[in-house]
Amino acid sequence: MVSAQELVKQHRFLMLSKSWCPDCHYAIAVFKKYNVLDKIALVELDKMPANQATELEKQFTAISGRKWVPTIFFNGEVFGTEQTLKELDPSDRTPSSAHPASAYPTLSSSWPWSNFIGGSALGPSSRSSGAELHELRGRSINTLPPAIIGPQYSFPIMLRTSLRSLAKPAARVSLRFYSSYPLSTTVTLPNGKSYEQPTGLFINNEFVPSKQHKTFEVINPATEEEICHVYEARKEDVDDAVDAAEKAFKGSWSTADPAIRGKALWNLAELLEAHKDTLAAIESLDNGKALQLAHGDVALVINYIRSCAGWADKLTGQYIDTGDTHHTYTKREPIGVCGQIIPWNFPLLMWSWKVGPALAAGNTVVLKTAESTPLSALYASQLVKEAGIPAGVVNIVSGFGKITGDAIASHPKIKKLAFTGSTATGRHIMKVAADSNLKKVTLELGGKSANIVFDDADVKTAISALVAGIFYNSGEVCSAGSRVFVQEGIYEEILREFKAAAETLKVGDPFDLSTFQGAQTSQMQLNKILGYVDIAHQEGGRLITGGERLGNKGFFVKPTIFADVTPDMRAYKEEIFGPFAVITPFKTADEVIELANDSEYGLAAGVHTKSIDTATYVSNKLEAGSVWINTYNDFHQMVPFGGYKQSGIGREMGAQALDNYTQWKAVRIGLQKPT
C-alpha cells in the first residue's frame, strides 16, 4: 500500500476526503466552480478497503495533526480552501479589486473559510454534534439543508481519483508531481516542426532536476493542452543556484577584462540569432502571442544583448581633481549575485532585459521565470553555456512566486533584486527584500497609460498608434495605452475608425502569420478581462466593439472598446491587462494633462498631434517615464524604459540600465611632497 507520506510527496495538491462529509463536498464544489478541481488529487477513503482506509487516515492524521477531513496538503503543508485557490492563481498576483478575496464563495458570512480546515459544515456559530453529522452520512449534496450548503452551491457529488488509480496519471491533471521526469523532452510545434525543450533547472551551466523532483505543467493558451512539465525550484534549489552564482562572482567573472564579458555576450547574441525561429515559436507556443509578433520580440532580444556586449568595457570611472595633496578617482563595480524575477507577457525579452546588463557589469544572476511561461528562457539558457559564459554566471529556476520568488527575494546572499510584474507583488517584493538584507531593488510595474489624440492629429497615423497601444501582444503590455483621450472635435471620427480597425484585426491561431492578436496567457486572465466587460456595462460605458470570448477553445477574446468612459469608472482606473480600451473625450490640453496624470501609475503615454508646440507642452507635463509622439509601444535598446509613481523604480535598457547593476566606489589617496 502507498503510504500517506509518499502520496503527499507525489502530489502538489492532495485532499483527503470522505463522501459523507459535507465539508468535503463544499470544498470540491468551490474547486469545481473555480476550474481548479483537475489540479487536486483526491484520496477518497470510503472508496477503499476499510483496513487500508483506516491505516491511511491514521497516517494522514499524524502528518497533519488534524482529525477532521478534508485535509488539504500543499507541498506537504496543510492548507485551506481559500489558500489553495490563491496558490492556484496562475497570474501570481494578489487578489485584485476585480477578483477580491471576498469574492471566494462562503457558506455564510460568519464562516471563517480563510482558515478552512476542521470544524463542521454547520459553521462555528452552531457547531454540530456527532449525532447531527451522522445523519448527514451517505446523503447527496443536493439533499443537504440550505443552512449547510446554500441554494446557490447545490452541486451533485463529484467523484474523483481514488487511491487505486493514483498510480496512473489522470487525464489533464495539472501541476502533478512525478518522481522522475526527463531533463528534456521533444516538443512538436503547431507548424509540424519539433525541437528539444529543456525541462530542468539551469544551475552551474547544467540542467538538473529539483531536489524534491517536483514538476508542474505548462499549458498552450491557444489550445488549453499540455506542452510539457518543467521542474519546480524550491528554497533548497534556490540555495544551490545562489551558491553557484556566488562562487562564479568570486571567481574570474567579476574581475576579468570587461572585453571578455563583452565577447561572451556577443557570442550569446549570435547564438540567439541562429536559433531565432525556434525561440519565436517557443514564445508563441508558451505565451499564446501571435508568431509574427514573437519574431519581433526575438529581434529586440538579439539587439539588446548585442548592445549590452558593447557596454561591457565602457563602464568607466572618473578622475576628480581635488588639488595637489590628493589623487582622487571613482570606479564602477559590480554588485554581486543578482536575483531576477520576470513576468509572463514577454518571457524572453524580459530575460534579456535582466540578464544582459547584469552580466555586462560583471554580476552573476539567479533568475526565476514566470510559472506559466518558462520555456523560452530555459531554451536560451543552453545557449549561455555554448557562448562561453562560465558556470554559475547564469542560473535559471522555474517556480511559483510565493515559494521560489520569495526564496530569491529573501535570500541573504543576493545583493540586488530586479522584478517585473504587478504593482501589488512589487510592494511585497520590496518589503521582503528590505526585511532580509536591504537589497538594492529595481521594479518595473503596472500601468494605466494615457494615449491622447488631438483634433489636428493625422487620423490614419493616430489609429495605427491606438491599435499598437492596446491590441499589440493581446493587450498584455504594462505600458498599454488603455486610456484613450480624444479631443471633442475628432471624437466621433476616431470612434468610427478605431472600431473599424479593431474589427479587421485577425484574432486566433498564433501560428497563422496573418494573426495579429493571439490568445491571452491564461484562463484567469481571460476571466479577468470578461469580468471588466461586465463591470464597464454596469457602470454605464458604451460598448463600441468586442466584449466577448472568441470561440470555446483557447483563451481568446475579441478586441474590446468602450466609449464615454468617465474617471470614476473602474475600467478607467484599474489595470486590466488585456485588449480593452476605454475612450474619454476632452476639450483642452490642460484638461487632458490633468486627466492623464490623475492615476497611481506613470509608466508611459502617447500624444498624437501635428503641432510641435502641443507635443512639447503636453509631453513636458505628463507624469510618465516614456512619452511617444505620433507612435506608441515603440521600443529601442538604447532608450531607457521605466515608470514614475507606482509604476516602478529604476530603468530598463539604455545606459541607465547599467546603473541598476553597478555601485560607485570613491578612492582618495593622500600624497606627500617628495623630499
Strand partners, 228: 218
Which pTM was predicted? 0.76
pLDDT-derived band at 158 (thresholds 50, 70, 90) equals: very low
Q: 670 or 117: whose pLDDT is higher?
A: 670
Which of 594, 646, 593 is closest to 426 using CA atoms? 646
Q: Give the model's pLDDT for residue 135.
A: 32
Architecture of the domain made up of 450-637: 3-Layer(aba) Sandwich (3.40)
Q: Give the model's pLDDT for residue 229.
A: 94
Q: 237 or 94: whose pLDDT is higher?
A: 237
pLDDT above 60: residue 328:
yes
Q: Where in the chain is the domain with CATH 3.40.605.10?
A: 184-193+206-256+317-444
pLDDT-derived band at 266 (thresholds 50, 70, 90) equals: very high
Q: Give the model's pLDDT for residue 166.
A: 30
- pLDDT tens string 600-614: 999 999 999 999 999
Q: Give the model's pLDDT for residue 86.
A: 67
pLDDT-derived band at 187 (thresholds 50, 70, 90) equals: very high
Q: How far apart are CA 91 and CA 555, in angstroms?
A: 14
Burial class, 195, CB count within 10 angstroms (exposed 0-12 / middle 13-18 / buried 19+):
middle
Peptide bond into 559 cis (omega under 30): no
Q: How far is CA 545 from CA 347, 536, 559, 630, in A?
A: 30, 13, 7, 24
Which of 309, 329, 328, 334 is closest to 317 using CA atoms? 329
Which residues belong to the active site? 444
Q: How far apart are CA 115 and CA 605, in angstroms?
A: 43
Q: Give the model's pLDDT for residue 16.
A: 78
285: amino acid identity, one letter: L
Instruction: Tell me the fold of 4-165.
Output: Glutaredoxin (3.40.30)
- pLDDT tens string 137-152: 333 333 333 333 332 3
pLDDT above 80: residue 649:
yes
pLDDT above 60: residue 415:
yes
pLDDT above 70: residue 20:
no
Which of 149, 3, 135, 12 is closest to 76 using CA atoms? 12
Q: Give the model's pLDDT for residue 150.
A: 30
Report the pLDDT averaged over residues 155-178.
30
Instruction: Find how far residue 93's CA is from the centre of its chain.
Output: 8
pLDDT above 60: residue 412:
yes
Q: How far apart are CA 211 and CA 205, in angstroms?
A: 17
Q: How far apart are CA 625 and CA 604, in angstroms?
A: 6
pLDDT-derived band at 71 (thresholds 50, 70, 90) equals: low
Cβ atoms of 424 and 94 within 8 Å: the answer is yes
pLDDT above 50: residue 159:
no
Report the pLDDT averaged over residues 640-667.
97
- pLDDT tens string 582-599: 999 999 999 999 999 999
pLDDT-derived band at 82 (thresholds 50, 70, 90) equals: low
Q: How far apart are CA 341 and CA 22, in angstroms?
A: 41
Report the greatest alpha carbon distance in the chain.
104
End-to-end alpha carbon distance in the chain: 90
* Strand, helix or coil for residue 422: coil
Q: Where in the chain is the domain with CATH 3.40.309.10?
A: 450-637
pLDDT above 90: residue 161:
no
* Strand, helix or coil for residue 281: helix
Q: Give the model's pLDDT for residue 67.
A: 52
- pLDDT tens string 525-572: 999 999 999 999 999 999 999 999 999 999 999 999 999 999 999 999
pLDDT above 60: residue 136:
no
Report the pLDDT averaged over residues 640-644.
97
Q: How far is CA 289 from CA 240, 251, 304, 471, 497, in A?
A: 33, 40, 21, 11, 25
- Residues contacting residue 478 through CB under 8 Å, at least 6 positions apart: 345, 420, 444, 445, 446, 447, 603, 647
Cβ atoms of 526 and 520 within 8 Å: the answer is yes
pLDDT exceeding 90 applies to what percent of the chain? Answer: 72
493-512: b (≥16 Cβ within 10 Å) or e? ebbebbbebbeebebbbbbe
pLDDT above 80: residue 343:
yes
Across 550-659, the runs of DSSP E, i.e. the strands, are 560-563, 580-586, 601-602, 604-608, 626-629, 644-645, 648-649
- pLDDT tens string 53-69: 788 778 877 777 655 54
pLDDT above 70: residue 174:
no
Query: Do strands 416-420 and 440-444 pair parallel, antiparallel, or not at all (unpaired)?
Result: parallel
pLDDT-derived band at 51 (thresholds 50, 70, 90) equals: confident
- Which of 151-160, 378-387, 465-474, 632-641 bottoms out in mean pLDDT, i.e. has the lowest? 151-160
Report the pLDDT averaged over residues 363-387.
97
- Residues contacting residue 387 through CB under 8 Å, at least 6 positions apart: 264, 265, 267, 268, 270, 271
Report the pLDDT averaged over residues 91-115.
36
Which residue carries 472600431 as its cell? Answer: 499
Report the pLDDT averaged over residues 637-656.
97
Q: How far apart are CA 626 and CA 619, in angstroms?
A: 9
Which of 465, 489, 487, 469 is closest to 479 using CA atoms? 469
Q: Give the model's pLDDT for residue 160.
A: 28
Q: Give the model's pLDDT for residue 19.
A: 64
E strand or H helix at 659, and its extent? Answer: helix 656-659
Q: How far is CA 331 from CA 179, 314, 361, 375, 662, in A?
A: 50, 11, 12, 38, 10
pLDDT above 80: residue 228:
yes
pLDDT above 80: residue 639:
yes
Q: Give the model's pLDDT for residue 96.
A: 38
E strand or H helix at 669, and its extent? Answer: strand 662-670
Q: 493 or 41: whose pLDDT is higher?
A: 493
pLDDT exceeding 70 applies to what percent of the chain? Answer: 83
Report the pLDDT averaged over residues 193-219.
95
Q: Which three cell numbers stand for residue 144?
A: 443537504
Q: 3 or 600: whose pLDDT is higher?
A: 600
Helix axes 258-274 and 291-311, enclosed angle (nearest 10)? 160
Across 210-278, the runs of DSSP E, i.e. the strands, are 215-220, 225-231
Which CATH homologous superfamily contains domain 184-193+206-256+317-444?
Answer: Aldehyde Dehydrogenase; Chain A, domain 1 (3.40.605.10)
Report the pLDDT averaged over residues 154-172.
28
| Averaged confidence pLDDT in the chain | 85
Q: Where in the chain is the domain with CATH 3.40.30.10?
A: 4-165
4: amino acid identity, one letter: A
pLDDT-derived band at 329 (thresholds 50, 70, 90) equals: very high
Q: How far apart are CA 575 and CA 299, in angstroms?
A: 28
